[in-house]
Amino acid sequence: MRLRQARAKPILDDLESWLHAQLPKISGKSELAKASRYALARMKKLRPYLDQGCLEADNNCAERALKPVALGRKNFLFVGSDEGASCCSSHHAFIIQEDFVADRQAAGVVSAARRLDGGHRRSTGRARRMFQGAPLQG
């Protein structure tokens, strides 16, 4: 927290004062003015980042965790049948859960694929077919 107070606080303070200073100089209807007002409106929500070590300045980690779910949901629309979509979504959910438990490392996906494949070495090809939406037999 001391590091954040020493390094991030002056930057945040300077940014906020600069945005306040620039706002009267630009057209109120411009995109730059909209962006400046947007940033200024959220400055209060960003301040706890300086005082609490567990907070991050952005939500990239949460967005990365949700991205596979959103991509999978979109891809399941094009698997060809209701049964195929159900199969793909259940395998996808299992892989996502396993990946999360393994701290989002590639080892989690390989581990899940090996368990589905009975522990055989060809599991990486099976995992690849699962992601491509191919049938899982063989």
**Confidence grade of residue 52 (pLDDT, cut at 50, 70, 90):** confident
- Mean pLDDT highest for which of 33-37, 43-47, 96-100, 131-135? 33-37
Domain ranges across the chain: 2-51, 60-132
Contact 136, 92 (CB under 8 A): no
At residue 92 the predicted structure's pLDDT band, cuts being 50, 70 and 90, is low
